[in-house]
Structure 1
């Protein structure tokens, strides 16, 4: 992106880090005047009681004058500090560049609150490859890209559970071919038609278009986005103060005769603490790590190291560190408009600080090679769909937690007899923006009746679902889940199609946009597939990970 909503920030040159200046709130005069003895009041003047009385009268006047000046000084100090704090707050808010959260309506729905009323948080992190400023051109090279629409070179979804006890980061490689919805760039006013293209192209319609693309692909409602360019990465990496990464062999990521481009990262085997431009080179290195998939893993390694570094510095509670990070962060980041104040960014950081490192997992979308182009990938049918379902349902992506959930699900109660289950069928086929398929709810109701679910009936209330789902009220507990699973199984739907909802609605089948015709449910998910297989998962507490270097980029 690189554009600014604040006058004069077009190239976003970095100001020197601002440091907090200390002030001596007490002052020498104030402390001495109130604590030093009044020697005049103790002196025997030789004038008897009259002198004593005069001394006694003068002493309170002097004290009152001193106390009055102290009060005035303290008042000015408090007012001055408050004004400075307000001005600082406004200064930081003025640094922030904001944009529209969404470029349209993807149909994604927010996850229902849990029993305590808590909801998960989803934040899309975007790295722009814009060269449209002197700083970014210097750092990114490729002069021919100046003036072109930037690409979303890095895309990660941060998911924080409703109870804020675990978090996951899922990357989609930039070379993934997906459906991109029609979008209008809010900065240029240019409209782009819907297309099937690489996901990094989605940024041409603005960050909101990239968010819509993710929501359309995953069905996950995304609350906010944040975007950073090359110069912003360098500034943030310096503000953090460095993070440790590791390579198993010496590397030099230079262009090759048949493979142009390179980050020019040069590094000896072993562990290194990197920051600034070296951190940017690490995050951009692709060929030396084998592919864009290897690059994603290296990025996850770096981000985990940053989190460990911040926690070790107590950065979330150290006022000085927070001020430095706030100054740099607000200058470096562009955010969706509803996240566009320092307070909201601070609140976001506080929600993340309590997630234990061992409950932070970073992974890359399961994928297959694109049959139309060996250099591109597609989401892996089954595994990717199941991964998105876990995110929609706010399920942990930690391998140990997944094993516990699987064991717990196997111990559920027996489902009720089909004829005993009252099922409401809703037509949600219009969730993707097309007109709803006429008569779809009645057709699927008839299908259920043919399978023994004779108490199924339709509702005229319109539903909305990108993928077909069976929901049950949370108050029904394990029995409700077993009943819903039996309906899903009878229709050939995956277990990931089963969801719980807040109390009030009964057992409901919502026919989604993926099942507009026919009597067979779409075969998209293999229930035996492991959504974490092949995701190169990296756990936040694991500090000894080390990257393999692809052999052509190893140096002797």
Structure 2
């Protein structure tokens, strides 16, 4: 691979502690004013070089077999998987690409903590959930150079880009959910391949999950937060972003005025572009994805929007760019992409990546919806926004399109068989908690006791109120910790008239736990609220077919 030349290797003064905010913004001395240069992609291989299997092939296009053309069309799908899985289909050809792929475990949290597998719909189709990770690892000379660090070689990597890609069961739409890197949340216990145990943390910055044993811990963290079963992960590091941007020949991005991400104190990515659209590649593409100082309010949220713009543009470029018909460029793209990827073992061969790409390419660009996890500030960091974040995750779990364009004609999910209770009603222990507090309303006093007494009157004599705990839950929910208590939880729900969708597995409880939510602040008869399947406004949705320009902070223009 042709390495991109990077000037201005600024040093981070020290290793950033987990408790500190922000990405290392070491200065890049950009040598371009933003115009698309003439470097193009990596050099083409000599004409007349035969296929890897020795099947021949001459410098004449007329003499190349049709099979090779099909294979070269497939090459584009490898890169597509990394950023949103689009592009064409074809046939497995270069067996040696398998050896390029790095593999790691999918989930290294406790098996009992795994989210339930996605349910197939009535047609037997199953959704796909893929976690895309951008690693800031300084584990090679090139990654250290690109990261602008001199004293962090070999330190634990961080997942500075985390994006959940959900492909609907019927492959008609795709949901993309980004999580700000400075989100504080619970990270579960993780055990790496050497048996080293990383203890659970009740509240920690999310990008540190990658350094606790690998990408499998990031997967476990997402599953714990969202309840969404993740099928695969795909991870790319600094050098991977650079090499792939080079291979494809550039990605069009847009700013509303000239930008130079640089401060007098040495902060900034070094991105320097003229107003309007620029094709970024190589180091400049990495600068775009890392820029915080200069976009909008300088927050990590603004950086996430810039990453969305980059991915949307990459999707459109892959589908419309005529240069992808160039056989040598496509061959180089396939080589570069597989060298850049780390995947779970379930995606550890080119054939499996090809199978995945054939599913991803079915989704039209205008049905790709990009969002950011709803959040609220907690000091200088953020936490998932109560209610809105849960709503977004529920829509993804239930395979409901975030763009609101579902016609209602989709096959209905098959009803899940209920589990049998472990004992009679009077032997089922139920803890009742008060979750009636909201951002605008104080909790209803004694609500847990009222509902516990109601249950006791219905025969659940082991129901007990937990007066020491006051929570905030938009909807009433019944949680259970393990499969053997599922039937008990469902029995309580049935008696109270609570829908089965509100019975969820959770390792945050030690037994069947009923949380009386804000939708049941009074009365003894529960009435399920009308289903609201709208994407929260705080998710800031962006359609994958929409072209937009990033707003530049006037302090960073030139």
TM-score, L = length of structure 1: 0.66
Indicate which of 73, 92, 104 corresponds to 2:97. Answer: 92
Q: Are residues 133 and 114 of structure 1, via their aligned partners in 2, closer, same or farther at CA, if it must alter by over 3 Å?
A: same
Residues of 1 paired with 2:307 and 2:539: CA distance?
Answer: 14
Indicate which of 266, 272, 278 corresponds to 1:266. Answer: 272
Residues of 1 paired with 2:92 and 2:396: CA distance?
Answer: 40
Indicate which of 200, 207, 213 corresponds to 2:207. Answer: 200
- Quick check: which one's helix share is greater? 1
1:440 is aligned to 2:435? no
Q: Are residues 341 and 127 of structure 1, via their aligned partners in 2, closer, same or farther at CA, if it must alter by over 3 Å?
A: same
SS in 2 for 1:287: coil
1:554 is aligned to 2:557? yes
1:25 offset after TM fit, Å?
7.2
Report the equivalent of 2:483: 463
SS in 1 for 2:498: helix
Report the equivalent of 1:305: 313
1:413-450, CA deviations, whole angstroms, 9 ceiling, x for partnerless residues?
xxxxxxxxx997858xxxxxxxxxx9436989x96994
What is the count of residue pairs matched by the alignment? 424
1:144 is aligned to 2:147? no
1:364 offset after TM fit, Å?
0.7
Whether contact under 8 Å (1:426, 1:463) holds in the other structure is no
Indicate which of 371, 391, 399 corresponds to 1:394. Answer: 399
Report the equivalent of 1:535: 539
Gaps of 5+ in 1: 1-13, 28-73, 75-84, 409-421, 428-437, 472-482, 490-496, 500-508
Q: Are residues 240 and 488 of structure 1, via their aligned partners in 2, closer, same or farther at CA, if it must alter by over 3 Å?
A: farther
1:313-357, CA deviations, whole angstroms, 9 ceiling, x for partnerless residues?
379998666533321111011111111000111111121112111
Indicate which of 359, 380, 384 corresponds to 1:375. Answer: 380
Residues of 1 paired with 2:399 and 2:118: CA distance?
Answer: 8
SS in 2 for 1:135: helix
Q: Are residues 333 and 423 of structure 1, via their aligned partners in 2, closer, same or farther at CA, if it must alter by over 3 Å?
A: closer
SS in 2 for 1:93: helix
Report the equivalent of 1:158: 165
What does 1:405-424 correspond to in 2, within 5 Å? Answer: none
1:464-485, CA deviations, whole angstroms, 9 ceiling, x for partnerless residues?
799x9979xxxxxxxxxxx989
Q: Are residues 26 and 166 of structure 1, via their aligned partners in 2, closer, same or farther at CA, if it must alter by over 3 Å?
A: closer
SS in 2 for 1:101: coil
Report the equivalent of 1:250: 258
Q: Are residues 347 and 144 of structure 1, via their aligned partners in 2, closer, same or farther at CA, if it must alter by over 3 Å?
A: same
SS in 1 for 2:386: coil
1:393-428, CA deviations, whole angstroms, 9 ceiling, x for partnerless residues?
111111444xx67xx9xxxxxxxxxxxxx997858x
1:65-85, CA deviations, whole angstroms, 9 ceiling, x for partnerless residues?
xxxxxxxxx9xxxxxxxxxx9
For CA contacts below 8 A with separation 6 or more, give which structure has more relative contact order. 2
1:186-235, CA deviations, whole angstroms, 9 ceiling, x for partnerless residues?
3x654321112100000112000010000001010000111111000011
Residues of 2 paired with 1:286 and 1:26: CA distance?
Answer: 48
Residues of 2 paired with 1:522 and 1:514: CA distance?
Answer: 17
1:92 offset after TM fit, Å?
0.5
What does 1:67-86 correspond to in 2, within 5 Å? Answer: none
1:113-140, CA deviations, whole angstroms, 9 ceiling, x for partnerless residues?
1111110001111101011211111111
SS in 2 for 1:174: coil
1:86 offset after TM fit, Å?
12
Residues of 2 paired with 1:514 and 1:184: CA distance?
Answer: 19
Indicate which of 365, 376, 382 corresponds to 2:373. Answer: 365
SS in 2 for 1:168: strand
Residues of 1 paired with 2:264 and 2:46: CA distance?
Answer: 44
Q: Are residues 224 and 469 of structure 1, via their aligned partners in 2, closer, same or farther at CA, if it must alter by over 3 Å?
A: farther
Whether contact under 8 Å (1:124, 1:222) holds in the other structure is yes
Residues of 2 paired with 1:88 and 1:124: CA distance?
Answer: 27
Whether contact under 8 Å (1:175, 1:199) holds in the other structure is yes
Residues of 1 paired with 2:257 and 2:352: CA distance?
Answer: 42
Residues of 2 paired with 1:184 and 1:549: CA distance?
Answer: 43
Report the equivalent of 2:501: 498
Q: Are residues 464 and 389 of structure 1, via their aligned partners in 2, closer, same or farther at CA, if it must alter by over 3 Å?
A: farther
1:450-500, CA deviations, whole angstroms, 9 ceiling, x for partnerless residues?
489979999x9963799x9979xxxxxxxxxxx9899237xxxxxxx727x
Whether contact under 8 Å (2:103, 2:345) holds in the other structure is yes
Whether contact under 8 Å (1:383, 1:529) holds in the other structure is no
Q: Are residues 87 and 26 of structure 1, via their aligned partners in 2, closer, same or farther at CA, if it must alter by over 3 Å?
A: closer
Report the equivalent of 1:521: 516
Residues of 2 paired with 1:510 and 1:114: CA distance?
Answer: 19
Residues of 2 paired with 1:423 and 1:336: CA distance?
Answer: 32
SS in 1 for 2:210: helix
1:361-419, CA deviations, whole angstroms, 9 ceiling, x for partnerless residues?
1111000001xxx2210000000011111111111111444xx67xx9xxxxxxxxxxx
1:52-97, CA deviations, whole angstroms, 9 ceiling, x for partnerless residues?
xxxxxxxxxxxxxxxxxxxxxx9xxxxxxxxxx9996331011111
Report the equivalent of 1:288: 294
Whether contact under 8 Å (1:122, 1:224) holds in the other structure is yes
Report the equivalent of 2:106: 101
Q: Are residues 541 and 529 of structure 1, via their aligned partners in 2, closer, same or farther at CA, if it must alter by over 3 Å?
A: closer
Larger Rg: 1
Residues of 1 paired with 2:48 and 2:351: CA distance?
Answer: 22
Report the equivalent of 2:361: 353
Q: Are residues 453 and 183 of structure 1, via their aligned partners in 2, closer, same or farther at CA, if it must alter by over 3 Å?
A: same
Residues of 2 paired with 1:168 and 1:439: CA distance?
Answer: 39
